[in-house]
Structure 1
Amino acid sequence: MRQHFTISEWAVEGPHPLIETTVPELLEQTADDAGERIALVDGHPDPLHRHRWTYAELLDEARLAASALNRRFAPGDRVALWGANRPEAVFAQLGAALAGIIVVTVNPQYRERELLHLLRQSRAAGILHDPTFRGADLGAMIASIRADLPELHTTWHVDELRDRAEPQALSSTTRSPTAPGDPYLLIYTSGTTGVAKGALLHHRGVVNAPMAFARRAGFHTGDTWINTLPLFHTSGAVMAVIGSIAMRSRHVLMPHFDAGLFLDLVETEQGTLSVMVPTMISAVLNEIQDHPRDTRSLRTIAVGGAGVPPLLCRRARAALGCEVSVVYGQTEVHGVITQTRPSDSEEDQAESIGQPLPGVELKIVGPDGAPVPVGGPGELCTRGYQTMLGYFDMPSATDDTVDAEGWLHSGDIAVMDARGYVAIRGRSKDLIIRGGENIHPQEIEHVLESCDAVAEAAVLGRPDDHWGEIVVAAIVPRPGQDASPERLHAHCRAQLAAFKTPQQWHLVAELPRTPSGKVMKHVLREQLD
């Protein structure tokens, strides 16, 4: 382990051994070498409905999906995947890789306004979707915006792929040629601008980044990964789906997070690793206190997505008998870039986000762009194989994030100690992280200010023991209008996902502003507190 840094810069020493392969090659090689090993388990609450697929069967399902996709789409087309965590979504994601198609992941909580932006900006040629999600008719939502999407020529239920495959799909091993640097996933992130941007991720990063994470977490070949996180996130689509294949392990896919179901799956499926946000861990600890389970197989819980309370890590170790690995990353870097080791001290787990993963260059820079001395705060920047190709069709946004030397600027303020351990000290922007979901206030402010009862709106995050942060809105009402919380909540829910809708409302006479007219959110926060 390195020691005695004086400048906050972590360089890669010597060539880093990357696996120069693609997702199709990885899947085919794993099926050849470990075809009879269980690859995927549907984490259904009823064990009688808990279907399993070997690696050979997983490859077959991917080939059927690829065959169907090849009939309507060309390599390089972008096809959206919109729905819940289901095995069919995994088949579709892997089938798209075999067909050379770029998958656009979409949060199933999105409403028409949010969906329209993603499909229009990605220029999606098609969308594969579930019929419904939590009572919402996804097909009806697509139909309502279809006229505004001239490039969208195909909408299928994800269940249809198997039936639409060519009869000879399983007898043919032909697939679209792809290279490690080719794009594979387009995952949208609010980032720090308020406008959802599509981070274009490549095969090299999708294969190597989750392997580096898994190895540091102490995950081994043949282990079992209990996936609690959604497939529209990097943590689901990259780390769990591809990471489990790369490690030739078993992926247990939860249909949704439920603390009781998670513990049941750990016990019955002998789960060894899971990635969670702090809110999930809190729910698991409450559940196991009331309903004990056998968690002896659980080796590591990786936690990220918001500030990780030290007490939560200690409680998890004591109640679950496992180690904790704190992670930090972004969609733009294929997931995780720094991580603590399970063997790290309690102090390092509590106060840092660990050291950079292999192959990652990292530096903490001051206003002049130069690395600061160790212990000094600055912006966290990274460079390496894990950096995205760019934001899709947004060159200016890409240039603002990735500089001419290839350094990706995170927007987070951090410090590094003499051993190379990094700690986050704050965010240079106003991003809110609620239960692992990135939320930008500007988007919500725009929606609120479209309501005739709102003269001005300011949205910020407030610390919360359960969610990490919650969304809080300060409203300057228009005279004579109904600006009740009930009305404003309904207005937001008609246009925004539930997790973006403010949970606390404050009516104020005016918003504190700078002489140039910018809202002083630090002052507003003090006023609301």
Structure 2
Amino acid sequence: MDLAYWPADTSSPVLELSTGDLLREAADAAGDDIALIEVVPPGTPSLSGATETNRRWTYRELLTEAERCAHWLLAKFTPGERITVWAPNIPEWIILQYGSALAGLVVVTANPALRAAELRYVLEQSRSAGLFHTAEFRGSDMTAIVREATPGLPELRETFCFADWPDTVGTHRTGGPLLTVRAGDAAQIQYTSGTTGFPKGALLHHRGLVTNARFMIDRTQLPRRGTMVSAMPLFHTAGCAMGVLGSAHQRATYVLCQLFDPTLVLTAAQDHRADLLAGVPTMLIAMLSHPELDRFDLSNLSRVLSGGSPVPPELVHRVEQRFSVQFTTVYGQTELSPVVTQTSPDDSPEDKAATAGRPLPQLEVAVRDPITGDTVPVGQPGEICARGYQTMLGYFDMPDRTAETIDPDGWLHTGDLGVLDNRGYLRVTGRLKDMIIRGGENIYATEIEQVLFTHPGIRDVTVLGLPDPTWGEIVAAVFVPGQPEKVPNAAQLHDFCRTHLAPHKTPVRWFQAGELPLTGSGKIQKFRLRDQIDRAELQELPNERN
């Protein structure tokens, strides 16, 4: 292997199943097993509006509710139409996901934190015929936002609040045949590029979502009929595909946390004897920082799954040691349904800490020169490209953007930078747009971030380039201190970096933040940080060495 190209492993078949087919198979095989458990903060209601909390469904009950939902949907919509789900983690989200699949509708997922103009963009660009929403989320009156966002949208015929579910969908008739939905049919539109601010709707098909979830959960090694606890958002593929569909493949119980709160998630993992805990790095950091972590009994926990943003090697070590588990990291993109590579719990500590694992089955991966398009030699950096069954159908109604991303040979260009070794292990080094070019030198932000994550005074950090008249760009770091009363100064951070990094890689500007702005999938929104720096909204540490 001289070139950074990994051929597809064809030993495991691509599954010709729709999302609805997967649920039917699970209900046939494990109908009485618990499929879904709702977890809400103590003393608070379900955001669905349901009067009960901490509800649960068997696989047979979940299928019955999904079929009821499908019949209700077909009384209002035509197969192939798009419906937007604008809601946090509620069980009805999952029922609607399966019901839409059985009805041949396309689910458009929307972050419940969107404001009126952002929601209107999603509805208008996707040409949604229906909108499903909760009444409120984190203090926002979502019904009022809907009234502001929806006037004059010609395609939108129905808006529906989940609080009305029990008296509408919940009482609809069941029975009667449903149409056949093919594996290659469109299943979801997921809006992506939240890190750059330009939303594109990735149109995903059932085959990609269902098969990718199978391969991912196999490598994760979730036990058959085990339990997975997750607060990952359902509006992202990490929740509705990896979590929901991955659990269904294993006939496992999916414990759905209504929101991320360290105490809530740790309690759920304890009370439901989780085998697998899923979370983006910021979630895991928050759980490790819980002041009463020792009081939680996590003795049944054997796996922790993470991704969504670069996973620092130090975090892998801390999680494995603190929780006595095996760590598995996924790397992927929404456009690829979503997982491209993944470490195995059986990988060496070095590979789990330093790489994003090997490609999942049935996927080709290559690292290419971003200028020439040629495959680079093994061990050399370049743009990560992938080709296989799981590639999106395209960006909805954006043919030019699709053509920019998927080349004529079917390769999807991720925009991510990485290095592939001769064993097929991939190391992700950053984003093409995040590469810092200082005086002609290419600097990878991820390398610096991994060093800073080991500093005892830093809880979370990101590195970015800022314009400079002399160097073109300079290196800057934005960090969240581990203890607000013990913030390291710029000189201390500079000296720490210089023991691990070359001078040109050491940040020359340091900014302190309370939290880092994230997309729904847990990626840091660097463009928002640049805006905050431009507006002098972040506290900059004095640096006498500049």
Give the TM-score, by structure 1 length. Answer: 0.80
Contact 2:269–2:277 (CA<8 Å) still a contact in 1? no
The residue aligned with 2:227 is 224
Specify whether residues 166 and 278 from structure 1 end up closer, same or farther in structure 2 by C-alpha distance, changes over 3 A only. closer
Determine whether 1:101 maps to 2:116: no
Contact 2:9–2:361 (CA<8 Å) still a contact in 1? no
**1:31-110 matches, cutoff 5 A:** 31-46=27-42, 49-110=53-114
Quote how far apart the aligned CAs of 1:165 are. 4.0
The residue aligned with 2:173 is 169
Quote how far apart the aligned CAs of 1:85 are. 0.4
CA RMSD of superposed structures (Å) = 3.0
CA distance in 2, matches of 1:166, 1:303: 35
Q: 2:256 aligns with which of 253, 263, 279?
A: 253
CA distance in 2, matches of 1:243, 1:270: 18
Q: Letter of the 1:279 partner, please give it.
A: T
**1:429-508 matches, cutoff 5 A:** 429-430=433-434, 462-464=477-479, 502=529, 505-506=532-533
Quote how far apart the aligned CAs of 1:145 are. 2.5
Quote how far apart the aligned CAs of 1:302 are. 1.3
Q: 1:324 aligns with which of 300, 323, 327?
A: 327
Could you say what secondary structure the match of 1:332 adopts?
Answer: helix
**1:289-304 matches, cutoff 5 A:** 290-304=293-307
CA distance in 2, matches of 1:528, 1:141: 48
The residue aligned with 1:399 is 403
Q: Which runs of 5+ in 2 are unaligned?
A: 44-51, 436-444, 450-461, 465-472, 483-523, 537-542
The residue aligned with 1:416 is 420
CA distance in 1, matches of 2:60, 2:478: 47
Specify whether residues 409 and 91 from structure 1 end up closer, same or farther in structure 2 by C-alpha distance, changes over 3 A only. same
Q: 1:362 aligns with which of 354, 365, 374?
A: 365
The residue aligned with 1:11 is 7
Specify whether residues 508 and 335 from structure 1 end up closer, same or farther in structure 2 by C-alpha distance, changes over 3 A only. closer
Deviations, residues 168-226 of structure 1 (Å, cap 9, x unaligned): 73233x21321000001111001676420000111101111111111111112201111
Farther off after superposition, 255-264 or 9-18: 9-18
Quote how far apart the aligned CAs of 1:462 are. 4.2
Specify whether residues 165 and 286 from structure 1 end up closer, same or farther in structure 2 by C-alpha distance, changes over 3 A only. closer
Contact 1:68–1:166 (CA<8 Å) still a contact in 2? no
Q: Which runs of 5+ in 1 are unaligned?
A: 442-457, 468-497, 510-525
Q: 1:26 aligns with which of 22, 34, 44?
A: 22
Contact 1:183–1:201 (CA<8 Å) still a contact in 2? yes
The residue aligned with 1:131 is 135
Give the TM-score, by structure 2 length. Answer: 0.78
**1:355-394 matches, cutoff 5 A:** 355-366=358-369, 367-394=371-398
Could you say what secondary structure the match of 1:403 adopts?
Answer: coil
Quote how far apart the aligned CAs of 1:413 are. 1.1
Q: 2:121 aligns with which of 117, 129, 154?
A: 117
Contact 1:69–1:161 (CA<8 Å) still a contact in 2? no
CA distance in 2, matches of 1:146, 1:218: 44
Quote how far apart the aligned CAs of 1:44 are. 2.6
Quote how far apart the aligned CAs of 1:167 are. 6.2
Contact 1:64–1:161 (CA<8 Å) still a contact in 2? no
CA distance in 1, matches of 2:156, 2:535: 44
Could you say what secondary structure the match of 2:174 adopts?
Answer: helix
Deviations, residues 258-286 of structure 1 (Å, cap 9, x unaligned): 11111111111011112211111111112
Could you say what secondary structure the match of 1:265 adopts?
Answer: helix
Q: Percent identity, aligned pairs only?
A: 39
Q: 1:199 aligns with which of 197, 202, 206?
A: 202
Contact 2:68–2:172 (CA<8 Å) still a contact in 1? no
Could you say what secondary structure the match of 1:426 adopts?
Answer: strand
Deviations, residues 295-351 of structure 1 (Å, cap 9, x unaligned): 111111111122222221111111111111111001001121101111212211221
CA distance in 2, matches of 1:114, 1:243: 30
- Count of residue pairs brought into register by the alignment: 457
The residue aligned with 1:236 is 239
